[in-house]
Amino acid sequence: AVMAFITIFATVLETSTVRTAAAYSFSRSIGRHQQRQTSASFLHATNARALSTRPRPIPLGVPVNTSTRLFSTVESASGPDVIASVEAQIATKGNEIRSLKEGGISKDDLAPHVAELLALKAKLVDLTGGEAPAPTPAKKAPKKKPKKQPAKKDESEMSVNELRESRLGKVQAMRDAGAEPYAYVYDPNRTASQLSKEYEGRLEPGQEDEECEEIAVAGRIMARRVFGKLAFYTLQDETGTIQLQFDKKRLRERDEDSFKNLKAWTDTGDIIGAKGTIRRTDKGELTLYAKEWTMLTKSALPLPDKYHGLTDISKRYRNRHLDLIVNPSVRETFYKRAKITSSLRRQLDAKGFLEIETPVLHTQPGGAEAKPFETYH
């Protein structure tokens, strides 16, 4: 009985030992298999991350999901940090695309950057489990407002030096355009007083004398009034004043830029010549309807104020040339004085008198023949 028990116990023990060895062998086999699976998974995940960093082309117009990607990746957990990282990448790529557009990149070169941006947005959709956000419209660059040009100063607000520089600038502009601001010769065939006498009682308001010869006048601009495509100038010569009418359409028949140059180059005080026909305006004023004009003398300084004139006595005596231009009564006085002197001279000449200059009758030498002397100062 004892031997039988020992035999049975040895058999059971052997069987357990065999089973334990088999179990140990099987567990070691399972461990090695799991280790190989873990290594393979690690390598697969590493390759997937490497591929995910490359641009993943996505067909346009196709919903983005896992089955449509050209490069399969192992999705990471959709944690807040991952989502924030993807959103930051989308913002960075968007700024990069905008800068490339501003730099003038072509559509073909821009396409890979757009595809990468779309891939990042698709990844964000997968992580958040929502729908793809609508594309934000490109912000238009704000239009640059044109800089306001400084208001042109009125002549009354400009200093004498500024006025002179402005007018001399127009002189240079004329020469640059091939026009002479100081003409050598001009032949007018009428004066203001002659036209006034010739057309006295003729022409109704608004009527034009188209049958007369072309009339040429010359004088100084005393006033100018410009109304868009129409301009009226008051011209003064040695006999009186006459109005000039300039029409843009009429002047363009002979010179395309005539009216533009008229407005840009002329000022009060300039001496100009004009050719055209005679008409009366609707208000009945005798007017030369000009076909062309010519600059004869460009004035470097303006005339005195047309409303107040030159009334200061000291200024009138210091600037006799201005006094003669703007005050017709003074000019008439000088004219009469010259006529009186000339008449007396002719009468005395006719009676045999000899005109001798006053210094000839002096008994004391003067000028270069005077004796030098020293002063007490």
Query: pTM for the whole thing?
Result: 0.54
pLDDT for res 103: 79
pLDDT for res 67: 42
Buried b (16+ CB within 10 A) or exposed e, 55-94: ebebeeeeebeeeebeeebeeeeeeeeeeeebeebbeebe
pLDDT for res 259: 94
pLDDT for res 72: 39
What is the separation of C-alpha 147 from the centre of its chain, rounded to a whole number of angstroms? 8
Q: What is the CA radius of gyration of the chain?
A: 53
Q: Quote the CA–CA distance of 30 and 36 in Å, as a whole number.
A: 10
Q: Quote the CA–CA distance of 58 and 111 in Å, as a whole number.
A: 11
Residue with tokens 């407005």: 263
Tokens of 332: 């008439």
pLDDT digits (tens, 9 = 90+) for 355-364: 887 766 666 6
Long-range contacts of 56-63 (CB under 8 A, 24+ apart): 56/115, 56/116, 56/119, 57/115, 57/119, 58/115, 58/118, 58/119, 58/122, 60/118, 63/132
Tokens of 156: 């009354």
Residue 274 gets which letter from DSSP?
Answer: E
Query: Mean pLDDT, the chain, as a whole number?
Result: 78
Tokens of 201: 């009682």
Residue with tokens 């490359």: 54
| Contact assessment for residue 276 and residue 190, using Cβ atoms and an 8 Å cutoff | no
pLDDT for res 302: 87
Residues 238/239/242/244 CA torsion (nearest 10 deg): -40
In this structure, what are the phi and psi dihedrals at residue 57, rounded to the nearest 5 degrees? -65, 130
Helices (H) and strands (E) in the chain, counts: 10, 6
Q: How far lies 162's CA from each of 157, 159, 220, in Å?
A: 10, 5, 22
Which run of H or of E encompasses 87? helix 80-102
pLDDT for res 318: 87
Compute the C-alpha angle 98/101/106, nearest 5°.
145
79 three-class SS: coil
> Residue 334: CB partners within 8 Å, gap ≥ 6?
324
Compute the C-alpha angle 89/95/99, nearest 5°.
145
Provide the terminal-to-terminal Cα distance of the chain, rounded to the nearest Å. 174
Residues of the chain with pLDDT under 50: 18, 21-23, 26, 38-55, 58-76, 132
